Amino acid sequence: MSRRSGLGPGKSQGEILFRAGIYTLLIVAAIYYLIPLIIMIFTSVKTMNDIRTGTLISFPREFTLDAWKAAWGSACIGVTCNGIKGYFWNSVIMVVPAVLFSTLIGAANGYVFSKWKFWGSEVLFSMLLLGCFIPFQIILLPMAQVLGVIGLAQSMQGLILVHIIYGIAFTTLFFRNFYVTIPQELVHAAKIDGAGFFRIFWKIILPVSVPIFVVSIIWQTTQIWNDFLFGVVFSSGESQPVTVALNNLVNTSTGVKKYNVDMAAAMIAAFPTMIVYIVAGKYFLRGLTAGSVKG
């Protein structure tokens, strides 16, 4: 898993040109990816007057953090004007159990699908994968009916349950593809030694699973944190996640639009996932490298 070394010829002129070319291309690409973020940052530190009278894509004429303060603590969302800070906690309460349970279930499923195959297990796995492709908009009504029947309509528990259910397909895919790369002989040997289903999982499988747990947790956290559709439909007023609050903030029907506050709020809402990507990015890659992408 070390970096490739010694590819290409020695340090010739061609090599230098080649590397310069690669750096140029990478930096051009980086600019393409960064432009929207730069515009968001610029807009968020402008005054509304600057935005209204100037061009939208330009350097700020005067710098102010008022929009950030407003987005965090005083912008009106619905009838309360406390910014988006309160909704943060809602998202955390939703994300933690949803990610945890969908990941644990995915790990257990992946373990069975890779190491304890039985008649029909492959078919079940394919059926589960197809579930990834169902457009979520269409399950809203039947899901609402089911939640109504089991008494979880408009509750945080119901919302968490929905996230777990529709997260399992992907977590199972990740874990199954990872566990496939663990040699079957290890499991066989353990079985001969008399180890059972759970013992093998705890002693052999789990200890090597850290990278894929990281992948699954990052993926699920990003997906669930950024989800809008389930959040808006299955939550109740006071437990709306931050994406719904963000949408409520930026989508005014006939009101005056404050782009600087919108942009600041969007960046605040994305902050936790951004941090996850920056801090855990390395482990993310390591986890992917360790086998999840090996089919």
Partner 1 sequence: MVRRFSIQLFAVFIASFMMVSLVKAGEVEVLHWWTSGGEAKSVAVLKGLLEKEGHVWKDMAVAGGAGANAMTVLKTRAVSGNPPTAAQVKGPQIQDWADEGLLTNLDPVAKQEKWDDMVPKVVADIMKYEGHYVAVPVNVHRINWMWCNPEVFKKAGAQIPKTWEEFEASAKKIKEAGFIPVAFGGQAWQEATVFESIVVGQGGAEFYKKAFVDVDPKALNSSTMIKALDTFKMVKSYTDKDAPGRDWNLATGMVIKGDAAMQFMGDWAKGEFLAAGKKPGEDFVAMPVPESAGTFLFNIDSFIMFEVKDKESQKAQSAMARLILGETFQEVFNVNKGSIPVRSGIPTANFDSVALQSMDDFKEAAAKGTLHPSMAHEMAVSPAVRGAFFDVITNFYNSNMTAEKAAAEFVNAAAAAM
Partner 2 sequence: MRLENLLPKIVLAPTFVSTIITIYGFILWTAWISFTKSRMLPRYELEGLVQYVKLFANERWWVASKNLVIFGSLFIGICILIGLLLAIFLDQKIRIEGTLRTVFLYPMALSFIVTGTVWKWILNPSLGLEKLVNDMGFTSFTFDWLVNSEMSIYTIVIAGVWQSSGFVMALFLAGLRGVDDSIIKAAMVDGASLPRIYWKIIIPSLRPVFFSAIMILAHIAIKSFDLVVALTGGGPGYSSDLPATFMYSFAFTRGRLGMGAASSMMMFGAVLAIIVPYLYSELRSKKNE
Q: Provide the binding-site residues for partner 1, judged by CB under 8 A.
A: 52-53, 75-81, 97, 100-101, 104, 140-141, 143-145, 147-148, 152-157, 206, 232-234, 236-238, 244, 247-258
Tokens representing 72 are: 């965090």
Separation CA 241–CA 248 (nearest Å): 11
Residue type, 19: R
CB of 62 to partner 2, least distance (A): 20
CB of 249 to partner 1, least distance (A): 6
**Of 13, 62, 135, 151, which lies in the binding site for partner 2, with binding defined by CB under 8 A?**
135
- Binder of residue 248, out of partner 2, partner 1, none (CB less than 5 to 8 A by kind): partner 1
* Interaction between residue 65 and partner 2 (CB under 8 A): no
CB of 186 to partner 2, least distance (A): 17
* Interaction between residue 247 and partner 2 (CB under 8 A): yes
Report helix, strand or coil for 148: helix
CB of 213 to partner 2, least distance (A): 15
CB of 252 to partner 1, least distance (A): 4
* Interaction between residue 10 and partner 2 (CB under 8 A): no
CB atoms within 10 A of CB 131: 14
Separation CA 37–CA 62 (nearest Å): 19
| Distance from chain centroid for Cα 206 | 23
- Binder of residue 294, out of partner 1, partner 2, none (CB less than 5 to 8 A by kind): partner 2
Q: Which lies closer to partner 1 via its Cβ, residue 177 or residue 240?
A: 240
Separation CA 292–CA 37 (nearest Å): 30
Q: Which lies closer to partner 2 via its Cβ, residue 53 or residue 55?
A: 55
* Interaction between residue 33 and partner 2 (CB under 8 A): yes
- Binder of residue 123, out of partner 2, partner 1, none (CB less than 5 to 8 A by kind): none
CB atoms within 10 A of CB 212: 26
Separation CA 62–CA 53 (nearest Å): 13
Find all residues with CB under 8 Å of 216, minimum gap 6, and list them: 102, 103, 106, 107, 170, 171, 174, 175
Nearest to 125 by CA among 190, 164, 180: 180
Separation CA 35–CA 109 (nearest Å): 41
Q: Which lies closer to partner 1 via its Cβ, residue 19 or residue 52?
A: 52
Site for partner 2 in 227-246 (CB under 8 A): 228-229, 243, 246
